């Protein structure tokens, strides 16, 4: 897996994206509490870059609690599998920004 780091130099926001073939995911991130809107801009830039690299599917690992209580109702997410309290979910790359932002409660 290749990794790409996206940094907003005016804030502490950053995203580390993992990418392999047509699949990408957020490996690590930080949302500056004072600059959530700028995180969304950074996320859009990162997702657009992943699209340009050929990514078509966005995958994320979430807790079973988060899946059951926050994400399951979002029609964009599809449950891939779950094990030991972790749920692997995916969505089309074109829905990733909207879905991630909604999951973080920033939207």
107 has pLDDT over 60: no
pTM: 0.89
Tokens of 83: 């094990």
Q: What is the per-residue DSSP string for 11-71?
A: SS-EEEEEEETTEEEEEEEE--TT-HHHHHHHHHHHHHHHHHTT--EEEEEEEHHHIIIII
**pLDDT tens, 19-56?**
999 999 999 999 999 998 999 999 999 999 999 999 99
**CATH (residue range 2-104):** 3.40.630.30
């Amino acid at each position: 897996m290749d990794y790409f780091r996206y940094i907003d130099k005016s804030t502490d926001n950053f995203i580390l994206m993992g990418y392999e073939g047509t699949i990408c995911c957020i490996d690590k991130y930080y949302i500056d509490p004072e600059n959530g809107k700028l995180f969304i801009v950074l996320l859009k830039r990162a997702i657009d870059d992943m699209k340009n690299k050929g990514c078509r599917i966005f995958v994320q690992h979430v807790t079973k609690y988060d899946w059951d209580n926050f994400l399951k109702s979002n029609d964009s997410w599809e449950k891939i599998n779950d094990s030991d309290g972790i749920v692997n979910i995916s969505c089309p790359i074109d829905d990733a920004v909207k879905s991630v932002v909604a999951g973080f409660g920033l939207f």
